[in-house]
Amino acid sequence: MASNALELDDLTVTYISRTRRVAAVRNVNLTVKHHEIVGLVGESGSGKSTLAFAVMRLLTNAQVTGRVSVGGQDILSLDPEALRRFRWNTISMAFQSAMNALNPVMPVWRQIADTLKYHQPHLSDAEVRQRIKELADLVRIDPARLQSYPHELSGGMRQRVVIAIAIALHPSVVIMDEPTTALDVVVQRSLLENITAIQEQTGFSIIFISHDLSLVTELADRIAIMYAGRIVELTPAATAVQPDTRHHPYTQGLLAAIPRLSDETVVIRGIPGNPPDMAHLPSGCPFAPRCPQRMDRCQDEEPALRAAEIGQIACHLFD
């Protein structure tokens, strides 16, 4: 068994058009251990979903360089047939919009069955039915609802179907791209508890993508903070919200935007300014124009991700 479930080495994703090249993900290095949950957090446009689609090799209009290793196998070197066998068997993905991910004219049991039969054609009909029943139990779907079409299910139930398809073939790594988006708080809580229970029972590793730092700290073992296509901080989830822990200024801004119900007066402070245009990144640190602690050095030199007191941080304040 490889030492890590997933390894990204200098992963760079560049979108190419006739007029320009835009690096949406820049030199990302990240490891995910076996049985570990790593949260990937950042504002919209920070590169989270692009990174996920690059790892799955689902991008058709981009140049992907670097190394993506799952269980010791470099995905970027696989030919199309080997990649077809590898995806969903070894690494899978639960997509953000369940309504778009599911076929609207097929009952959900058939969509799970098709996944099983396509990748494991040796399974008998009885074995497929048994596996569908096991998956329904795992993701807490009433077996009667398996006969439904996607539009007949609630948003949370559709998301459970997508997760069932993602884990159907016992993958070692599952990428979850904002699976709780557009769900109400009660459904979010139920879904997160379900994900945690399934992960503890089956042991696969998870990359959990979200823009909600407070939500991810409850689920993940470690958290990677992305900004402008790079990881700017990698920290244990247990220390992410501790008030005495020093963080990257961008992480501090995300934490300041989380309302605390225990406070008598709730003050939410947003991060000023806007994320940078990835086609025209500023020189130096991309966060410098929005950073309240910027120095002259930040305008000219982009900091590297390096070891800090807790985890790793890409900021000149921590040199």
Instruction: Please report whether residue 277 resides in a domain.
Output: yes
pLDDT averaged over 10-residue windows placed end to end, the chain, 319 residues: 89 91 95 96 93 94 95 94 94 88 94 95 95 95 94 92 95 93 83 92 95 90 96 92 85 84 67 90 94 93 91 92
CA–CA dist 257, 245 (Å, integer): 17
Helices 125-138 and 108-119: angle between axes, nearest 10 degrees: 120
According to DSSP, residue 29 is labeled: E
CA–CA dist 243, 25 (Å, integer): 30
* pLDDT for residue 260: 67
Q: Which two tokens stand for residue 180?
A: 């709780």
How many structural domains is the chain composed of? Answer: 1
The residues near 5 (Cβ < 8 Å, ≥ 6 apart) are 32, 33, 34, 35, 36, 70, 71, 172, 173, 204, 205
Instruction: Please report whether residue 58 resides in a domain.
Output: yes
Residue 57: CATH number of its domain: 3.40.50.300
Instruction: Please report whether residue 258 resides in a domain.
Output: yes
Instruction: Please report whether residue 247 resides in a domain.
Output: yes
* pLDDT for residue 74: 95
Instruction: Please report whether residue 263 resides in a domain.
Output: yes
Instruction: Please report whether residue 124 resides in a domain.
Output: no
* pLDDT for residue 55: 96
Largest CA distance in the chain: 68
Question: Which residues pair with residue 92 across a beta bridge?
Answer: 174
The helix/strand count (H/E) of the chain reads as 10, 12
* pLDDT for residue 263: 59
H-run or E-run covering 14: strand 6-16
CA–CA dist 163, 257 (Å, integer): 29
CA–CA dist 76, 57 (Å, integer): 7
* pLDDT for residue 3: 83
* pLDDT for residue 181: 78
Residue with tokens 């950073």: 291
H-run or E-run covering 136: helix 125-138
CA–CA dist 11, 151 (Å, integer): 37
* pLDDT for residue 262: 61
Instruction: Please report whether residue 201 resides in a domain.
Output: no
Residue-range definition of the domain harbouring residue 235: 6-33+42-78+212-318
CA–CA dist 15, 64 (Å, integer): 9
Q: 187-204 burial string, b = 16+ CB within 10 Å, else e?
A: bbeebbebbeebbeeeeb
Instruction: Specify the length of the chain in residues.
Output: 319
Instruction: Please report whether residue 188 resides in a domain.
Output: no
Q: 301: how many CB neighbours lie within 10 A of its CB? A: 14
* pLDDT for residue 210: 93
- 65-79 residue pLDDT tens: 999 999 999 999 999
Strands (E), 75-172: 91-94
* pLDDT for residue 102: 93
Which CA distances in Å does 69 have to 182, 189, 252, 314? 32, 32, 31, 24
Residue with tokens 């479930």: 5
